[in-house]
Amino acid sequence: MRGMKEAAAKYKKGDRKAGGEFAEQARNYANLLSNHIEKEDNILYRMAKSRLSEAAQQGLEKGFEKIEKEVIGPGRHEEFHRLLHHLEEEYLK
């Protein structure tokens, strides 16, 4: 994130090479997130599911639902999915 912020600041000041730097930093960040999510989905969540009781898992699910409703806001989750699909259509196809 810091690298993207620095590259964006350079670009704003007229350094056109900074656009490439920003793109490289963004790719690195995307790879980092992708690897992180892969570990969560295929290692950590499975490990937690095998070690947590059914009651604990239900409590977590209720807690996540409460946060989504009270903090994130109703409909925001779906809104994020629509945005993601739009960005995929726009930039990856």
Comparing CA positions, the residue from 53, 77, 83 lying closest to residue 65 is 77
Comparing CA positions, the residue from 65, 87, 88 lying closest to residue 76 is 65
Q: Which two tokens stand for residue 12?
A: 């704003």
Average pLDDT over residues 75-83: 92
Whether the per-residue pLDDT at 32 is higher than 80: the answer is yes
Q: Which two tokens stand for residue 14?
A: 């007229």
> In whole numbers, what is the pLDDT of the chain averaged over residues?
93
* CB-neighbour burial class of residue 83 (10 A; exposed 0-12, middle 13-18, buried 19+): exposed
Confidence (pTM): 0.62
Average pLDDT over residues 68-74: 92
Separation CA 64–CA 25 (nearest Å): 31
pLDDT band at 12 (very low <50, low <70, confident <90, very high): very high
In this predicted structure, what is the pLDDT of residue 93? 73
